[in-house]
Amino acid sequence: MSSGTSIPLTRRQFLAQTMQAAGALALPCCVPASALGRDGTVAPSERILMGGIGMGGRGSYDLTWMLNEPDVQWVAVCDVVKSKREAAKNVVDGKYGNKDCAAYGDLRQLLAERADVDAVLIATGDRWHALASVLAMRAGKDVYCEKPACLTMAQGQMVVETARRYGRVYQTGAQRLSEPHHVFAIELARSGRLGPIHTVYADIRWRDGMRLDWLPEEPEPPKDELDWDAWLGPCPWRPYSSGYVNGAGWYHYFDFATDVAMWGAHTVAQALAGLDMSSVSSIEFEYAGPDATMVTRLSNGVKLVLYRVGGSVWEPCEFWHGACGERFDGTEGWAAAADGYSRTDVSSPALLLDYHKVLAEYAGRTQRQLNHARDFFDCVRSRRPAAANPDVMCQSMNICLAADICGQLKRNLKLDLHRAEFAGDPEANRLRSRAMRTPFTF
């Protein structure tokens, strides 16, 4: 009232107003089903909030793969190249029908500002994999990191230690560990259906060497278009050249990449998965010349052959057809798999009779789905180790990186797998790490 006084309500007026208010509250609200977790959707409070770091070729592929998971919501992307981060943002926004995905040029800013992000995809160039993984796990994020997971043994061990210390889930992108035809070959070997395994082959492809020089300098683009300093990250300073950035030109340069581990990060992990490695203490490497197949011997007597296909990288070989293959030879038969297979190659058709049974036994024993990204997200929820967890990654990478060092030194080496040290070879041990450029250090 204008006078500041109030008129007492009668009982009838009070009851009438109460009924009107209750009626207003009873009116239906326009709440989308997705907000309530209905119609096959997942409620926002139950979604895994995801960020992406490195959104180029492989990163864009992984993004579209992971966008299909109903319990995952992408909220941020990051790339030092403006066109790539904008393209990734557009893909995410197009999926959700909004403009909410944040785009960053520096992963450190994303990690510092986005406390809401539960997990990150790391699909940068190889030089950044280990450092980005460590920084992300220190920031409380679970990590799906593309392979190869590190450039050195020291970097790989830092990833292992960080995941353990911070209690983070980590999956490296050795996705063939979760593909049916590879899993079937691995399980035939692991379960004894092939008899005791005496020889395993892992495809490490053919490469046209690793270049130790660097490209002529070109004018740097504007920093907003490409942050060259951040692109290099922990690697030695090199003058800008578009030859590194366009496509995967960096792939051929030792400063930015590895040799055996480029493909062995997949196939050595596949080979080891079919073996009982619990009692294996060391591995011996036999130098066979540049770009040659390398024979190694595990301390349990199994021969691991790091096989290089001659000629074109796509040229078929005697052990499998396609790329990224592995083969297990046992006393009772053999099994092999590679990209493009619909079923595993085996020495006898009888081995395929239990195909679905073997895969079902694997799923029951491990509680894993035959989908590498889905396995990661399931582990983010359950907090159990992923299929390609840090220990799996580190063991296979140490073998690949030791093979690289054997090739650099051009002599036989013996690696203690438990200590990740070469026996009696200080020069080889010095090559287990590389200098990391400030401020891009652990």
pLDDT, tens only, 64-101: 999 999 999 999 999 999 999 999 999 999 999 999 99
Looking only at the bridges linking them, the beta strands covering 282-286 and 197-203 are unpaired
H helices of 239-283, where? 242-245, 260-273
Q: List the single range of 152-156, 166-170, 258-262 with lowest mean pLDDT.
A: 258-262
> Stretch 337-356: mean pLDDT, rounded?
94
Do strands 170-172 and 142-145 pair parallel, antiparallel, or not at all (unpaired)? parallel
For 147, 179, 323, 395, 435, the CA distances from 265, given in Å and listed in that order, are 6, 16, 13, 10, 22
pLDDT tens digits, one per residue of 363-400: 999 999 999 999 999 999 999 999 999 999 999 999 99
Cβ–Cβ under 8 Å, residues 422 and 313: no
Distances (CA, A) of 229 to 134, 135, 186, 240, 278: 19, 18, 42, 9, 42
The DSSP H or E segment spanning 421 is: strand 421-422
pLDDT digits (tens, 9 = 90+) for 2-17: 444 444 555 555 445 5
CB atoms within 10 A of CB 307: 23
Closest CA to 240 of 248, 232, 426: 232
- Whole-angstrom Cα distance, residue 174 to residue 17? 66
Domain map (residue ranges) of the chain? 176-209+259-368+390-430
- 176-209+259-368+390-430 falls under which CATH superfamily? Dihydrodipicolinate Reductase; domain 2 (3.30.360.10)
Give percent of the chain above pLDDT 90: 81
AA letter at 273: A
Burial classification of residue 233, based on how many CB atoms lie within 10 Å of its CB (0-12 exposed, 13-18 middle, 19 or more buried): buried
